[in-house]
Structure 1
Amino acid sequence: MTLKQCLNSCKFLLTGEMNMSTFSIDRPFLQDLLRDIGSGRIQLPDFQRDWVWDDYRIRSLLASISQAFPIGSVLTLETGSTDFSFKARLIEGTDPVHAQNEPTTLILDGQQRLTALFQSVMSGKAVSIRNNRGNDSLRWYYIDMDQSVNSDINREETVISCGEDHKLQTPDGGTIDLSSVEEQYKNNMFPVHKIFDSASWRQGYYRHWERSKEKMDLFDNFEGEIITCFQRYNVPVIELRGAPREAVCMVFEKVNTGGITLTVFELLTASFAAKEFDLREDWNKRVKYFRKFPVLRKLDNISFLRALSLLVSGSCTRRDLLELDVQTYKQKVDKVQAGFAEAAKFLNRRKIFNSRDVPYQTQLVPLAAILAELGDEGMTIGAQEKITRWYWCGVLGEMYAGSIDSRVANDFSEVIGWIQGNSDEPATIQEANFQTNRVLELRTRGSAAYKGSYALLIAQGCHDFLMERTTEDMERSRDDIDIHHIFPRAWCKKEKIAKEIYDSIINKTPLSARANRKIGGRAPSKYLAKIQEDAGIDGAAMDEILTSHLICPSALRDNNFEKFFEDRKAALLDIIEEAMGKEIIREPVIFDIDALLNGPDAQN
């Protein structure tokens, strides 16, 4: 990154202004930086990912330095200057035997450039690279002395790489083995890892060519134009001092917008590791425990931390999470785990069994925190009724769409206060509203209200059209069940019914795949007769099943889509109203169903 970009990224203080006391700007020699990396004085915070770069970028980087071109600035963090610490690790390629020092500096931005340079120039070992196919290999780097001093040749073309065996293919199909120093001298190929220790190589080169004036002049020119650039190269370094964790996180993310994104979890993992606590290992144990709850399959570590933060401070913003410490985490973590387990059971009792059917993953956070905080008090009949009403108001009122930090915190405190008799109904209940016409717009699982309505349908005890099982039983068993059209698409298209009508949840219900295959694209009057025959039931039994789905049997048997649609819409609004515990104002329909049955939007 450029120096200007790096400086802009440091504008992280609450005032929003640059504070020169929080960072310093220096221009150390590249050689000194790389030596500090080799000694372990400069390391990486543990949250940094492993270094991966390709051969071309390394050659381009070396070519840039050989011409004294800028390669961007480096952003570091001074250790010991903050009220927190990170677990550190050595840069790849560093020899642990020689890197015994405690780090004084951590690299926040510049890891890839410094790693590439350390491995190729200073380590004395082959450089680890990854090609565009994701395959790893080792390369050695050389500079063609003859070509590099020729101003007519692109410098990048003069930086040569070869495999771990040092063998280089020549244009005529031959092979040069550069593992032999004599072959290096003979072919004027200078090893990049000798850039900062070129004296002995120069002496050997002179001896090999018997101090030929032409070759001595070549090396002198090469040294003046190439080696000197490396030895005198300065790297702009901005070092943060006394920056809070939140600032470090923000700065790291800003400087890595094109690459790595640092999450709060990763930052806390590195911070906790400095206190000898492995947060990632602990989370992995929780994940194994949560596997017994299919409804929690999408639960992530950030949501878990947010619930924990609610128990600690009643808030769960990014800053709140970054202020968590190891001791507090250990005190609350088992309680939070229990809260999510109870949340899973709560959802199962509301007929939500799989993660794909959870209306809002974000609402799981306050739900788990509320249940964790209340403990046994939250399991009473009265408390469960209140939590249930709050939950459905959040889902059906679609209150958890958009920015929800303040709602999560408010719901946590307000629901608990309401249950304990210390406050009125939570704002989520008071503000929730379900517009009558919204039910016409619920067409896919992308809507929380759609998923909520699906769960409410299952809660009615509806039976499969064909199998002797309830849809709840099939959902629990994760059998082949989904929400399918009652009046089939093909029939609706043939009757010129508009897509926005026949794709509405009003025309959908949970059914087994076998029952849906029996329906096919036929008219209800025809598929009902076939299903009755195959299921071995009479019309009365079939009507009872239809009623369990809130379907008017006579309308379906008569293929009367309009009557079916109006009756089922009213029935769905009734169960939504009951779940929310508040009256839904039945406003007039915003469009004419008659027009949509034969209107311009109808599909042929």
Structure 2
Amino acid sequence: MAITSFGIEKEQLAEILREARVGKAQLPDFQRGWVWDDAHVRGLLASISLAYPIGAVMMLRAGGDHVRFKQRPLEGAPPSGDEQAERLILDGQQRLTSLFQSLMLGEPVATRDERGKEISRWYYIDMRKALDSGESEREEAIISLPADRVVRTFRNQVISDYSTSEKEYEAMLFPLTQVFHSAEWRSGFFRHWKYDPKQIKLWDQFEQDVIKRFEQYHIPVIELSKDTPKEAVCAVFEKVNAGGVTLTVFELLTATFAADGYELRKDWAERQRTLQQHRVLRDFSSTDFLQAVTLLSTWDRRKRALAQGSQGERAPAVGCRRTDMLKLSLDGYTTWADQVVLGLLRAERFLAKQHLFDTRFLPYGSQIIPLSTILSAMDKDWDAQGNSDKLARWFWCGVFGELYGGTTETRFGRDLPEVLAWLKGGPEPRTIVDAVFSKERLLSLRTRGSAA
């Protein structure tokens, strides 16, 4: 990515949260759900009350031609309806969702306790503790209360009740849902204490030392331009994701296709049910399937380019690397997905002739990917004796040559066109040419997976 493809600006926290409330800032659908617990939320609120940095947020400017994702609002935000997001949140979801729910939602926050139990909490700050304690103890001033704002013992006996504004004023617990519009609560607080100068002074100090910090808090926002390529968005998301979660191609394409109303996850689930009925195909994954579809799509694109006069080296390559899969269009997927299933069912019959009936006994499970694409591209005579013998030779050369044990995408891209050409009288594919086998290798095999 060029350095000009993103910008960095400080933006006011309150404005970012308002954008989330009206749907101008949303999440791409490949983002996981919000998972922060009560302790994380309280720690985050304490940091902002002290004007401590909480890290940058990364967003993608929406509306580009390169990337279109299905969008969804932050958890707790109202449905966006027809409102299209202006920006998509790539990094900072957990922090922004925590802040949106605790400061702006106006409802109890549905979170978890330290044991993972689901709880609902309102967040308050103890005014006296916040002013009297040192910065290192600020988190103790952040208090979370149950949905009814009543604290009870495990025997359900009431310890303290803050269920009305009057009780909040008396206990000097400021509800953080009021932090961006505190005037009304302040007026009630003054009336409750009959405009006692001592309490007015306490409020003034609290407003200056705490509330103003929330109101004036700024977050660094890194904004990627709308022209950022899809593969760059994927790479950036994985690098900045605090949990180190890998974003799979399947998840990214699911969000991309969903922007056009296509449910890739549902489509794959139906196809997977078909494959699960065949023991030798049970481990064929969604990524394997997308690789096979991409191989056929890029092979078809190359054929058409060559037919139009493109020179061999200048014609699009056949491939199924991550970058190739990310470029797979919805039209390309729907065109070739059924063909891949056909090829897989043919592959099962071919493997049965090789006396391979279960995925546990496949020397290299990944070899099914090029095998299925080759078979799906063949005519009805795919199982004719001559073709079947050649395919068996290619298959076992790959196995005994141990050619599918490492990085295999490049070989997949060669196998499809080369084997098809060989079946029509062309030269031997490189998988056969490259295969070298020593009989002594059989003596060193100790487990079923040794060849892999």
Instruction: Give me the TM-score of the superposition, normalised by structure 1.
Output: 0.69
1:577 matched residue in structure 2:
none
- Asked whether 1:316 is paired with 2:320, we answer yes
1:435 matched residue in structure 2:
438
Distance (whole Å) between structure 2 residues aligned to residue 375 and residue 136 of structure 1: 57
Q: Give SS of 1:448's match.
A: coil
Query: What is the 5 A alignment of 1:399-548?
Result: 399-422=403-426, 424-448=427-451
Q: Give SS of 1:418's match.
A: helix
1:187 to partner: Cα distance? 0.5
Q: Give SS of 1:378's match.
A: helix
Query: What is the 5 A alignment of 1:1-400?
Result: 13=1, 18-20=2-4, 22-96=5-79, 101-152=83-134, 154-168=137-151, 175-241=159-225, 242-256=227-241, 258-313=243-298, 314-400=318-404
Q: Give SS of 1:390's match.
A: helix
1:505 matched residue in structure 2:
none
Contact 1:146/1:188 (<8 A) preserved: yes
1:169 to partner: Cα distance? 5.2
1:478 matched residue in structure 2:
none
Q: Give SS of 2:339's match.
A: helix
1:493 matched residue in structure 2:
none
1:293 to partner: Cα distance? 0.6
Contact 1:39/1:100 (<8 A) preserved: no
After the TM superposition, list the runs of 4 or more consecutive aligned residues in structure 1 that deviate by more than 3 angstroms: 131-134
Task: After superposing the two structures, state which structure 1 stretch, 308-317 or 430-439, moved more.
Answer: 430-439
- In structure 2, the CA distance between the partners of 1:48 and 1:432, relative to structure 1 (3 Å rule), is same
- In structure 2, the CA distance between the partners of 1:78 and 1:133, relative to structure 1 (3 Å rule), is same
Contact 1:176/1:183 (<8 A) preserved: no
Contact 1:141/1:191 (<8 A) preserved: yes
Distance (whole Å) between structure 2 residues aligned to residue 270 and residue 129 of structure 1: 26
Q: Which has the higher contact order (CA 8 A, sep 6+)?
A: 2
Deviation by residue 1:363-404 (Cα, 9 ceiling, x = unmatched): 111000000111324221111111111111111221111111
Distance (whole Å) between structure 2 residues aligned to residue 113 and residue 375 of structure 1: 55
Matched AA of 2:432: I
- In structure 2, the CA distance between the partners of 1:441 and 1:130, relative to structure 1 (3 Å rule), is farther
Distance (whole Å) between structure 2 residues aligned to residue 71 and residue 206 of structure 1: 33
1:105 to partner: Cα distance? 0.7
1:260 to partner: Cα distance? 2.6
Query: What runs of 5+ residues in structure 1 fail to find an aligned partner?
Result: 1-12, 450-604
Q: Give SS of 1:243's match.
A: coil
Q: Give SS of 1:149's match.
A: helix
Contact 1:142/1:161 (<8 A) preserved: yes
1:547 matched residue in structure 2:
none
Q: Give SS of 1:27's match.
A: strand
1:498 matched residue in structure 2:
none
Distance (whole Å) between structure 2 residues aligned to residue 272 and residue 218 of structure 1: 56
1:435 to partner: Cα distance? 2.2
Q: CA RMSD in A?
A: 1.6
Q: Give SS of 2:357's match.
A: coil
Query: What runs of 5+ residues in structure 2 fail to find an aligned partner?
Result: 299-317
Contact 1:272/1:278 (<8 A) preserved: yes
1:88 to partner: Cα distance? 0.3
1:492 matched residue in structure 2:
none
- In structure 2, the CA distance between the partners of 1:132 and 1:146, relative to structure 1 (3 Å rule), is closer
- In structure 2, the CA distance between the partners of 1:335 and 1:75, relative to structure 1 (3 Å rule), is same
Contact 2:38/2:114 (<8 A) preserved: no
Q: What number of residue pairs does the alignment pair up?
A: 428
Matched AA of 2:255: A
Deviation by residue 1:191-249 (Cα, 9 ceiling, x = unmatched): 11111111100110111111112211111111111110010001111111110111111
Contact 1:39/1:99 (<8 A) preserved: no
